[in-house]
Structure formats: C-alpha cells, structure tokens
Amino acid sequence: MSLRSIIAGAGGYLPERVVTNDELARTVDTSDDWIRERTGIRQRHFAGPHETAAFMGTAAARAALTHAKAEPSDVDAVILATSTPDQAFPATAIRVMAALGMQRGFGFDLAAACAGFIYALSVADGMIRAGQAKGVLVIGSEVYSRILNWQDRGTCVLFGDGAGAVFLRASDGSDTDQGILSTHLHAQGSLGDILYVDGAVGQRDRPGHLVMNGREVFRHAVTRLAEAVDEALNANGLARRDIDWLVPHQANRRIIDGMGRKLGLAADRVVITVDRHANTSAASVPLALSEACQDGRIKRGDLVLLEALGGGLAWGSALVRM
Ligand code: COA
C-alpha cells in the first residue's frame, strides 16, 4: 500500500496590529484608492517586536494541531518556510519545536520566498511517502515589515506579516482517496533580479530590503501560474471543472481573479485574503487555506488547488483532496 499525506488540520496567526491603507498614506506617498485599485489590498497586519517568525509560527502550528486533534508528541518533523527567520541559526523550525515542547523529531527552514509553503509541502509529502515521518508540521511564517523599504511606495504597500500552518498525517490510503495528489516545483534563476532582497546576515552591514520590478513579476506570474495549473491537472488526469477550490498565493487581486477565470471557477470558489492580509509571502497560502477550512467553506472530499510564485523566480502547485 502506498503512503499518502493527509492535511489533518490547518491554523493561522496574524499580528494584533492592523494597518489600513489610509494609515500608511500618512507616512508613504500613496492613497487608499491607488492600493485598492491596483492590488485589492485594504489593510495588512504588522508584527510587534515580540511577534517574530518563530513566535507566529508556533501560534499557527498550535492552531493546526488543535484543528487536527493532534499533540506536539505526534509530530516527527517541522518544516518552516521563511525568508525572515529569527536568527541565521538555530533554524526557526527548531525554535518552534522548543516552544511546542517537542522532545524528539527534527526540523529545518526552507527558503523559497513566496513559493516557500508549496516547496515545504512538497518536501514534507516526499518524506511521508518515503516513510521518513508520519506527522509533519509545515509552516509558513514571515515578518516582511522588517525588510520593506519605506522609501519605495511601489513595494512597501504590498506586504504584511503573519503565519499559517498545516499538520500532515501519513495514511496508507487503503480507506480513503484523501491526501496530497501531487506537487510540482519550478525555479528560474535567470529571473532572480526582478524580485529579491539586497542583503542578508552573510553580507557585512547589509541586512537587506525588498526590491521588485512589479510589472515584470506580474507578467511572469500570470504565465507561469497558468502553466502550473495545467501541469497539476494533467498529471492527475483531471479537468478544470473538477476543482472545487482555488487557494492561491495572495499577492494581487488582479492576478488571483485572472487565475479564477482561467479555471472557470465562480468567484466564491476562490479563497481571498489579500484584501485583509496583503502579501504575507510564504504564510499566504496556509493562512488562506486555514481560514477556509476553519470556517467550513472547504469540506472533506473537496479538490483544492494551491499555487504560489515569488522571488527566484520560484513557483509551484499542490493538488489536494481534503
Ligand atoms: N501609490 C501611489 N502611486 C504609486 C504607488 C503607490 N503605492 N506605487 C507606484 N505608484 C505609481 C508609480 O510611481 C507610477 O507613476 P507614474 O506613472 O507617474 O510613473 C504609477 O503608479 C504606475 O506604477 P507601476 O509600477 O507601473 O504600476 P503597476 O500598474 O505595474 O502596479 C504593482 C504596480 C506592484 C501593483 C503591480 O505591478 C503588481 O502587482 N505586480 C506584481 C507584484 C507581485 O505580485 N509581487 C509579489 C510576487 S510574490
């Protein structure tokens, strides 16, 4: 019997502080109208000093475990996607393990920018299928407010902070068709300079700020994500009409609406959080997924397509029977 990964629970965490477009417009040369019209964003959450990637990731992980009716002792591995870790090391994932009181297992961070959660989900699924772990926490946790350039109105209005997590449980597939059906990952390094952070802890005196050519990212996102959707469906012998829910990366409402139209999905079958969360990078897909699972929109048996694209460029998809 071949092993499969079931999404047993999902949870999220958002910082307490909400910042509206109007509030941003007091310090940045922008307006609520411009931001809403171009991106669909109304507000975002910004982390306070204590709300680090580990703090928020731990809260999201706890919520995912509770939703799955699982305990930290059921977790064999923690994989945490982030571009804004608490420290160069230990891995933020291992800080989360400590905060959860885990006495065994292993953990590591994974960096694939906004595609980080899809990458982490794919790695976790591979480990479960290989029999290396039976219970895996997959977390996306980001504090982009710490790497934004407040002088660049073309980027600083687009991002927010938060964390999302899922708990994956191994199943032998004998009694259910539930689980991650496939994941597909891609990267094209020649496009690395259209979205990047111009520093890191390994660079002397340059912690780094986010830099983006928005138009180019937009153009590539539309094409690559459309290809990724077809790739996921073809690999499983499924058609667009089979998809019940699209849970896309939440960067821009126009990109999301375009994907929904391409799939022929009614607007209420596309999970949207970008209006309230802005782009939370690796946290955006699990935050959106957890919201729609927790409020009962996504139900057991639904076919859900997850997709994301970001700096690298790195992108990917996951097709999941819930
Ligand atoms: N407020 C007001 N005006 C702004 C602004 C802001 N926050 N940011 C840029 N502008 C201005 C520009 O200065 C420019 O003015 P000009 O015409 O007088 O020079 C004008 O708005 C258009 O700028 P442009 O950058 O061409 O806008 P756009 O229509 O491409 O929209 C994005 C910008 C960022 C919203 C859009 O490119 C986008 O969403 N790209 C994809 C980003 C993305 O998804 N990134 C994350 C991937 S993980």
pLDDT tens, position by position, 7-27: 999 999 999 999 999 999 999
Q: How confident is the model at residue 1 (pLDDT cuts 50, 70, 90)?
A: low
pLDDT grade, residue 203 (50/70/90)? confident
**Which residue CA neighbors atom 42 of ligand 1 most closely?**
214
Ligand 1 atom 36: the closest Cα is on which residue? 214
> Could you tell me the sign of the dihedral formed by the alpha carbons of 185, 190, 194, 196, in that order?
positive
- Candidates 2, 11, 169; CA nearest to 77 is 169
Identify whether 114 is a catalytic site residue.
Answer: yes
Burial class (CB in 10 A: 0-12, 13-18, 19+), 51: buried
Is it true that domain 179-321 has CATH number 3.40.47.10? yes
Annotated catalytic residue 279: yes
The structure's pTM equals 0.97
pLDDT at 264: 87
**Ligand 1, atom 14, residue with closest C-alpha:** 154
CATH number for region 4-171: 3.40.47.10
Q: Report yes or no: 306 and 320 within 8 Å, Cβ to Cβ.
A: yes
Q: pLDDT tens, 238-296?
A: 999 999 999 999 999 999 998 888 888 888 999 999 999 999 999 999 999 999 999 99
Cβ-based burial of 29 (10 A; exposed 0-12, middle 13-18, buried ≥19): exposed
The mean pLDDT of 150-154, rounded to a whole number, is 96
Residue nearest to atom 30 of ligand 1 (CA): 215
Residue 174 scores a pLDDT above 80: no
Do 169 and 70 meet the contact criterion of CB atoms below 8 Å apart? yes
Atom number in ligand 1 closest to CA 30 = 1
Give the residue range(s) of CATH 3.40.47.10 domains in the chain. 4-171, 179-321
Tell me how far apart the alpha carbons of residues 293 and 7 are, in angstroms, rounded to a whole number: 10
Distance (angstroms) between ligand 1 centre and the Cα of 199 equals: 23
Asked if 139 contacts 52 with a C-beta cutoff of 8 angstroms, the reply is no
Atom of ligand 1 nearest to the CA of 157: 7
314 lines ligand 1 (CB under 6 A): no
Cα dihedral: 140, 277, 201, 90 (round 10): -30
Assess whether 156 carries a catalytic annotation. Answer: no
> pLDDT (tens digit, 9 = 90+) per residue, 105-115?
999 999 999 99
Give CA–CA dist 61/137, Å, rounded: 7
210-226 pLDDT tens trace? 999 999 999 999 999 98
